[in-house]
Amino acid sequence: MSYKRILLKLSGEALMGERQYGIDPKTLAEYASEIKQIHDQGVEIAIVIGGGNIFRGVAGASNGMDRVQGDYMGMLATVINGMALQGALEDAGMPTRLQTALKIEAIAEPYIKRRATRHLEKGRIVIFGAGTGNPYFTTDTAAVLRGIEVGCDVILKGTRVDGVYTADPEKDANATKYDTITFDDVLAKGLNVMDTTAFTLSQENKLPIIVFDMNKKGNLLKICKGETVGTTVTI
């Protein structure tokens, strides 16, 4: 395997499947199956998942809600998704731990870096919920932060598209995909990979990002084997 320890970032919207909102059990089971393939190969896996399928703090703020209150609601949405993913992974036979940046001790461990690292060393999949625990920070930022803290080799951002393009491929038929691109080029070209805080944090800590289509079966395993899938952002 090319990567020993990875941080998988999933969007909350991905869990909707074909639905308009909420969680699709079929999609959860499919993701669990993909994750099991790399777990069985000995890859150590940390996961951060968004909450957009349930609630987005930014969207709430745009409708007049207090931004801080909305962001905390969004953090709780990520915990719900984390619990759902935890259940699906355990149904597929994988040991897991859910750690949260906000203390919710009845359902999850509080985030402790050393404990998270030990879980990974023991082959447990660690799901990080509640973002960074602070308003105004996205789950992209939480993913990069946790990835750096627990010593991941790479951030794998699973999305609906199969990489980073010269333009939005859903709007521009002439858009072409990059196999690799540097952090500097992403910034210079104004491409959208992650929010600026997350992207800068990853760049400063020399942590590569791979953007790929999580819905295409086998992609996750191919990446961990070192095959070229999606777009790799490097220094």
Positions at the binding site for UMP: 51, 71, 132-139
Sequence-separated contacts (24+) of 161-170 with Cβ below 8 Å: 161/211, 161/213, 162/212, 162/213, 162/216, 162/229, 162/230, 163/211, 163/212, 163/213, 163/230, 163/231, 164/191, 164/193, 164/211, 164/230, 164/231, 164/233, 165/191, 166/191
How many residues make up the chain in this entry? 235
Distance between CA atoms of residues 143 and 211, nearest Å: 13
Cβ(211)–Cβ(28) under 8 Å? no
Distance between CA atoms of residues 113 and 211, nearest Å: 25
Nearest to 90 by CA among 125, 48, 136: 125
Cβ(180)–Cβ(232) under 8 Å? yes
Given the DSSP bridges, would you call strands 96-100 and 125-129 parallel, antiparallel or unpaired?
A: parallel
User: Which residues participate in the annotated binding site?
Assistant: 9-12, 51-52, 56, 71, 132-139, 159, 165, 168
User: Which residues participate in the annotated binding site for ATP?
Assistant: 9-12, 52, 56, 159, 165, 168
Q: What single-letter amino acid sits at 153?
A: D
